[in-house]
C-alpha cells in the first residue's frame, strides 16, 4: 500500500484476482479493460484469449481519456476520488459503475467494500435495470491486509433475477 498526502493505493492480491477473473464469462477475443491497473493484479492475470487494455493515472494513462470500445471492464476501482467542485473526497463507486455501464458492451465486474456495496440502493438498481444492466453474481472474499469483506460484483447487459430489490423506505 503506497500513501501520499491525499490517497492510499490498495493493491489487490494477485491470487484473489486469478480466482475472481475465472468467474467472469469472458469469451475469446473479448476486449477487456482494467481502468485502474495499479501494479496489474487483475490485468496481468487476464486470460490469453482476451484482448487486454489498461489505464493507470500513475503511468500517465487516465481512465477518462480512454475512448475505445470494450466488452468488459474488470477492476478494483478507487472507492473515493476528489470531487472537482467541492475538492472533498467522496464515494465514487456508483459514479464509476455508471460511467462504465455506459461504455462496456457486455459487462462490468467491480471489487467493492461494504460502503461501495451500500451505494447500490433500490433506486439505483432500478436505474441500472432500466438501462439493461443486472447483477449476475456476487462473490464475497476476505482480504487480511484490508478492513472487512469485499464483494466482487458482476454486472451483465442481460436480464437476470439473481439479485432483487424492494423500492420504498420502510
Mean pLDDT score, 20-31: 98
β-pair partners for 134:
156
Residue 85 has pLDDT above 70, yes or no: no
pLDDT average, residue stretch 132-158: 91
pTM exceeds 0.85: yes
Amino acid at each position: 500500500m503506497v500513501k501520499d498526502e491525499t490517497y492510499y493505493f490498495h493493491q489487490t492480491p494477485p491470487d484473489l484476482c486469478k480466482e475472481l477473473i475465472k468467474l467472469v464469462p469472458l469469451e475469446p477475443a473479448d476486449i477487456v479493460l482494467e481502468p485502474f491497473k495499479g501494479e496489474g493484479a487483475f490485468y496481468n492475470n487476464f486470460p490469453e484469449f482476451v484482448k487486454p487494455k489498461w489505464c493507470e493515472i500513475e503511468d500517465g494513462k487516465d481512465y477518462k481519456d480512454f475512448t475505445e470500445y470494450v466488452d468488459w471492464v474488470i477492476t478494483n476501482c478507487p472507492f473515493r476520488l476528489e470531487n472537482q467542485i467541492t475538492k472533498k473526497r467522496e464515494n465514487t463507486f456508483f459514479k464509476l459503475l455508471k460511467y462504465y455501464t455506459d461504455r462496456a458492451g457486455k459487462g462490468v465486474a467491480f471489487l467493492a467494500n461494504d460502503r461501495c456495496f451500500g451505494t447500490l440502493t433500490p433506486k439505483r438498481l432500478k436505474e441500472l435495470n432500466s438501462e439493461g444492466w443486472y447483477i449476475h453474481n456476487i462473490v464475497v472474499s476476505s482480504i487480511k491486509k484490508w478492513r472487512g469483506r469485499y464483494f466482487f460484483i458482476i454486472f451483465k447487459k442481460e436480464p437476470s433475477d439473481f439479485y432483487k430489490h424492494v423500492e420504498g423506505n420502510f
